[in-house]
A and B are shown apart, each in its own frame.
Chain A
């Protein structure tokens, strides 16, 4: 099926099998490999991107179900002119180890802070269900608190 998607504010015309998950559209068609494949069943969150500002697990969202005029944002579009507060905070707190899951973690965290600029610890626990096998969770918690501060300062 043919469809035009808006990815990181750029329109891309695509002709794909309708069941192709958005993840593989991003990676293999748009060449945006920052979004990662982890599980394929919406369990791990490595593939998290924003669809109209909301976090979605792109491995389980078929091409046919992506609304034509929706704004898709990936890690490559998160801090295009300068780093997003979550990216700054991730660097300040030195979160990444292997780094593989971090695009998804950052997208989940950015969506959380957009929705809820001052999340409590239990709100962070609830929103951040992405898996990290390096065990960066303690630093992710700190970085989200720090990003909330940075975001407030910028506002």
Chain B
């Protein structure tokens, strides 16, 4: 796939009168059927004669604000108010694939990074065509026309026409290849802290999540899956489940069985009553101790360098498996018919869902329609395993089925953030700064599962290479600091636990290790951790600025209440740089996080309100993991089952969070994930400052302080 391919704009006339506009990497398309809506055509923008403006959002909304930020980009160039735009969540079409992506998906903090330009161009082209249509009507030069709030104005003659009145005429015009764009200094919307467009729906209970989908005649299902990963069904007695009122059928599905019933509660009772046994599985017998032994052996395989002297560090760090624990449990609704299949699914990867559904049903991908809904949290979890199950269940019963996992199934069948162990050997030079830095990492390949699951889909070609090219486990080991000798080695370990992407992926664990060790180095050298970092960032002006900003906002060095201490960390990920200063106190072994100051450089940005939300959220999400979260293994299965034994942070444990955004004109960076990586090391560096105890294993709650 060429990265330099050009984006073509194309337009079509709506049968009802109006303008449809799209931007794809392919040849311009012609409206083939008047019944087709913009969504199926891979178009983005619809301006109806009724003045309604419809916009297809190509990314899924999982809290990161794309249903606000993306229409804002479009509205800025089109000169309408974001509130005038009706949001349509994209179905599957190759036009909604990000440039360079092998499948249609939302992840990697890329929505703004990748879509800003095409959306801005679409808005500008539509505006330009509407202006031309008005100029033609009025017989005036286009440059005498202005646009405002969905209207074209001719000031001299005090004439105006709404976009709706112009849409049909505009749709017959040639789409400009390089439409004029607004000067950024004239932006009214981009860069402003606009309120979210999904706010009202989300405070009134009206927002439709996957779990809320209702299809006429639908049944409900819930699942029982092999506790050991990839275990097979040994035997089950379905009579006990079928004896439960309302239970219709027990269906074998991917990883286990689905109990299908008239109501969800009946399906749940049926599943509880079902006697089922599984056998085998690739994680058979595994427990926490064995896991750690495997990681340690892998590190030993890499070979330990002899390092000695007073100015050296030789330390090991460990991080556990983590669950995503999205608030909305995995679910999917499927309706399989002889000649078509419809799927309603909260997923980050709708195109894979479509292809898997086609495979299961024997239908062509074009006969499968995927409706994406709002996602009740994503964090990298929402793929397609549960969608496969729903399609299988609907196919088996010949009716629409809404399949919902219990929290227990969700906790025990996640695609976990892998556990990792690192060995760091650092030599300080005479100046007290690291002269050599040797990082050895052992743990599962985060991308392996994902890649192998796609091998039998259309994405195969581009995915296979990922297996040998696993940046997802090692990203974040690179340092922005000037260190003469830097070595990094990675040994893949495969304990058999299902793994995947967890908000900030490799950065989530590597940042903890490297930013903690850098702090250790500063302490060994007897230097202030901030001053030490700054001294190593002479060649990195953006990193310096971010670090200095966070420190300044936090009052680094200023006096604190008795028993309080600060820690700092810096990390670049997803094209953005984030620094955080954490203020803690530790009382009788209990850590209390009081304040977190964040600074972010994400280049040019769209909505500072959403950036603040994402940074605050990332702080809480990362703190929750660092303080409490750990998936424990017993007999090859996950021992945790629900929120009582997979503890996550609650409001009473949440700090005050302050966010400062660096203003510059750099290329846009990601926002959803970069706030996560620095929080664990900043927290543990603060705990060290408060107590003298260095935390080298997470979660903190399991460590005696």
Contact = CB atoms under 8 A, between A and B. Distances in A.
Contacts of A126: 652
A20 B269 CA distance: 10
A37 B404 contact: yes
B290 to A, nearest CB: 29
A13 interface: no
Contacts of A90: 199, 203
Contact of A98 (B199, B211, B376): B376
A40 B407 contact: yes
Candidate in B61, B269, B407, B619 with the most chain A CB atoms within 10 angstroms: B407
Contacts, number: 186
B376 A44 contact: no
A129 interface: yes
A96 B329 CA distance: 18
Contact of B205 (A38, A95, A103): A103
Contacts of A76: 204-205
B657 A138 contact: yes
Contacts of B208: 33
A86 to B, nearest CB: 8
B501 interface: no
B642 A96 contact: no
B234 interface: no
Contact of B196 (A33, A94, A124): A94
Interface string A137-154: 111110000000000000
A7 interface: no
Interface stretch (B293-301, B643-651, B661-669, B688-696): B643-651
B272 to A, nearest CB: 11
Given A98-B377, A135-B619, A124 B651 contact: yes
B638 to A, nearest CB: 16
Interface size class of B (residues with CB under 8 A): 35 or more
A136 B617 contact: yes
Nearest to B213: A33
Contacts of A41: 407, 642-644
B195 interface: yes
Given A41-B407, A135-B616, A140-B651, A75 B205 contact: yes
Contact of A74 (B65, B205, B614): B205
Given A76-B205, A131-B327, A39 B407 contact: yes
Interface residues of A, number: 58
B620 A135 contact: yes
Interface string A13-40: 0000101110010011001111111111
A101 B203 contact: no
Contact of A99 (B198, B618, B620): B198
B651 A135 contact: no
B116 interface: no
A72 interface: no
Contact of B651 (A35, A103, A133, A141): A141
Interface string A112-142: 0000000000001110111111111111110
Nearest to B376: A100
Given A24-B264, A36-B211, A74-B205, A99 B63 contact: yes
B613 interface: yes
B296 to A, nearest CB: 32
Nearest to B266: A17
B693 to A, nearest CB: 26
Interface string B64-107: 11000000000000000000000000000000000000000000
A90 to B, nearest CB: 5
Contact of B329 (A37, A43, A95): A37
Candidate in B64, B269, B648 with the most chain A CB atoms within 10 angstroms: B648
A134 B64 CA distance: 9
B407 A135 contact: no
Given A43-B642, A43-B643, A83-B203, A135 B617 contact: yes
B55 interface: no
B203 A135 contact: no
Nearest to B648: A131
Interface in A70-121: 74-76, 78-79, 83, 87, 90-91, 94-103, 106
A5 interface: no
A110 B34 CA distance: 48
Contacts of B384: none
A53 B651 CA distance: 22
B327 A38 contact: yes
A56 interface: no
Contacts of A24: 263-265
B205 A100 contact: no
Given A24-B264, A43-B643, A138-B654, A36 B376 contact: yes
Contacts of B379: 133
A32 B327 CA distance: 18
Interface string B653-676: 011110000000000000000000
Given A21-B265, A34-B205, A38-B329, 7 more contacts: A19-B265, A28-B264, A36-B328, A37-B329, A41-B642, A135-B618, A139-B616
10 contacts: A19-B265, A24-B263, A27-B264, A98-B376, A101-B376, A128-B651, A135-B624, A137-B620, A138-B616, A138-B657
